[in-house]
């Protein structure tokens, strides 16, 4: 592999992803070695890895058993693409766990899943809870072990849209912008919450509840909280899983 950094995702290992510099000598951002959680959802599974090498005007990404991929752009672009590839690997190669399109927050190692359709407010609610003392583990894909009821977040940074700035406040937003993993996106930014609040939560937490969000077009006020019957909760959870097809 030489000097090329090895960036891992999917079933991530327990250690850093690779050396600090790519083969052309350019310095990698510090977060390029931290795109995966420390603990695998299933310790018996083998991690998926990618080898990245820098060319004159592009990057090449190799993964065993797959065609070489060419990526154009800076280091931020490469890391973002590999975070996405890690999520893809989880969906394709993790039959022993349940994956849900959900945000995951925790307090005292007790996890809460926030599920709902796109733009229903999962990241907004998770951000509000984070501001009030919860740990913010992830906002995109949650990995659940049905037997142990443990949940963990996918190996990628949290993504917030620019309107979340008003909810979080200027002080917290400025700390997000100054964090090592922060990068701008067309919609807002990505970052690691633990780099902002200084507290790295457990990679896996015991799940104690689920919140299901609904999206009502044109309605911005008057929301309420309702208890969900178990059967409805099972169906709502299934609809949030990329692995489940409702016939």
pLDDT, position 6: 40
pLDDT, position 218: 57
Q: What is the 3-state secondary structure (H, E, C) of 5-69?
A: CEEEECCCCCCCCCCCCCCCCCCCCHHHHCCCCCCCCCCCCCCEEEEEEECCCCEEEECCCCCCE
Using alpha carbons only, how large is the chain's radius of gyration in Å? 18
pLDDT, position 82: 85
What does the pLDDT look like over 62-88, one tens digit per residue? 887 788 889 888 888 888 888 888 877
pLDDT, position 4: 41
Residues 6+ apart with CB under 8 A from 85: 9, 10, 50, 61, 63
Region of 92 on the Ramachandran plot (φ > 0 left; ψ -120 to 50 alpha; else beta): alpha
pLDDT, position 97: 78
Q: Point out which residues pair with 131 in neighbouring strands.
A: none
Cite the DSSP H helix spans in 38-155: 75-93, 122-131
pLDDT, position 219: 54
Low-confidence ranges of the chain (pLDDT < 50): 1-44, 245-247
pLDDT, position 107: 94
Residue among 63, 58, 55, 14 at smallest CA distance from 36: 14
pLDDT, position 89: 80
Q: Point out which residues pair with 205 in neighbouring strands.
A: 151
């Amino acid at each position: 592999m030489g000097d090329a950094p090895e960036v891992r995702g999917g079933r991530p290992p327990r250690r850093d992803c690779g050396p600090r510099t790519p083969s052309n000598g350019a310095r990698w951002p510090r977060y390029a070695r931290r795109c995966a959680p420390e603990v695998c959802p299933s310790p018996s599974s083998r991690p998926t890895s990618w080898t990245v090498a820098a060319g004159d005007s592009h990057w090449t990404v190799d993964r065993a058993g797959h065609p070489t991929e060419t990526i154009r752009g800076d280091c931020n672009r490469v890391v973002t693409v590999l975070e996405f590839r890690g999520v893809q690997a989880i969906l394709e190669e993790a039959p022993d766990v349940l994956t849900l399109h959900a945000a995951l927050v925790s307090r005292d190692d007790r996890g809460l899943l926030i599920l709902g359709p796109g733009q229903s407010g999962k990241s907004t609610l998770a951000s509000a809870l984070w501001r009030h003392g919860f740990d913010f583990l992830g906002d995109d894909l949650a990995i659940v072990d049905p037997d142990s009821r443990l949940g963990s977040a996918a190996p990628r940074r949290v993504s917030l849209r620019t309107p979340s700035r008003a909810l979080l406040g200027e002080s917290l937003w400025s700390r997000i912008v100054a964090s090592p993993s922060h990068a701008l996106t067309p919609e807002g930014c990505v970052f690691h919450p633990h780099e902002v609040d200084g507290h790295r939560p457990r990679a896996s937490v015991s799940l104690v509840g689920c919140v299901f969000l609904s999206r009502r077009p044109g309605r911005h006020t008057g929301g309420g909280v309702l208890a969900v019957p178990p059967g409805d909760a099972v169906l709502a959870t299934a609809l949030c899983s990329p692995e489940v097809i409702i016939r």
